[in-house]
Homo-oligomer: A and B are copies of this chain.
Amino acid sequence: MSIQSRKERERAQREKLIITAALELAEAEGWEAVTTRRLAERIEYSQPVLYSHFKGKDAIVAAVAVEGCADLAVELRAARTAAPDATSALARISAAYVAFADRRPALYDAIFNQTVDLPFATPEAPAALHAAFDELAAAVGPHANGADLGLLTETFWAALHGLVTLMRGGRLPREHHDTRLALLLERFTGTPAGPGRTL
């Protein structure tokens, strides 16, 4: 009994180790630097060990993504609940979203750009992802104006994702990013928004 469970515990621990090592490596040098060989070296095991835990490299990235969703959800929640009113709630949660993508690009990539395997807009999607989405929905809700909340949230999310992605890919200059975000908020809240709109 106990010895069996110890082994399981150690195994689970090693799996966690793989995930955190992959994330660290990705955050330090980008996902293109995360190879199975380097990952194996980092966890001080041989390459094939990875495949006894995960079906392939993609599955490792997916595992990192699932973990990352939780972080994202937490940060979005904090931003939203700290806001005094509905309009600034959307502004703050948006800023938090962008800041997350900016501060943890590797994690953001894992969730939204890298892999495709994990289910998304279905009930089987990771709970943390739903949580993150719900935070966004809660912030969008007051500005729905009768529109379908789910779809409107998806649309707003897509807009944020587009801004983040194009900026990170060098398609949009970082300059005036705040203004673009403010413009987006204006369009979704109907109000001429507050800060960062001076240009």
Contacts and interface: CB of A to CB of B under 8 A. Distances in A.
Interface of A: 112-113, 116, 120-122, 147-148, 151-152, 154-155, 157-163, 165-166, 169-173, 176, 179-180, 183-184, 186-188, 199
A158 B172 CA distance: 9
A151 B179 contact: yes
A183 B147 contact: yes
A171 B187 CA distance: 23
Given A152-B183, A183-B151, A158 B166 contact: yes
Given A160-B162, A162-B162, A184 B155 contact: yes
Main secondary structure of the interface of A (DSSP, over half): helix
A166 B184 CA distance: 18
B170 A120 contact: yes
A162 B101 CA distance: 14
A173 B171 CA distance: 25
Interface centre among A158, A169, A170 (most CB of B within 10 A): A158
22 contacts: A116-B170, A120-B170, A120-B171, A121-B171, A122-B173, A151-B176, A152-B183, A154-B166, A154-B172, A155-B163, A155-B187, A158-B159, A158-B165, A158-B166, A158-B180, A159-B162, A159-B184, A161-B162, A161-B165, A162-B162, A162-B163, A187-B188
In the A-B complex, the 4 residue pairs with the closest CB atoms? A162-B162, A158-B162, A159-B159, A161-B162
Contact of A169 (B116, B180, B199): B116
B113 A169 contact: yes
B116 A148 contact: no
Given A154-B180, A161-B165, 18 more contacts: A112-B166, A112-B171, A113-B169, A116-B170, A147-B183, A148-B179, A148-B199, A151-B199, A155-B183, A157-B162, A158-B163, A158-B172, A158-B180, A160-B162, A161-B162, A161-B166, A162-B163, A162-B165
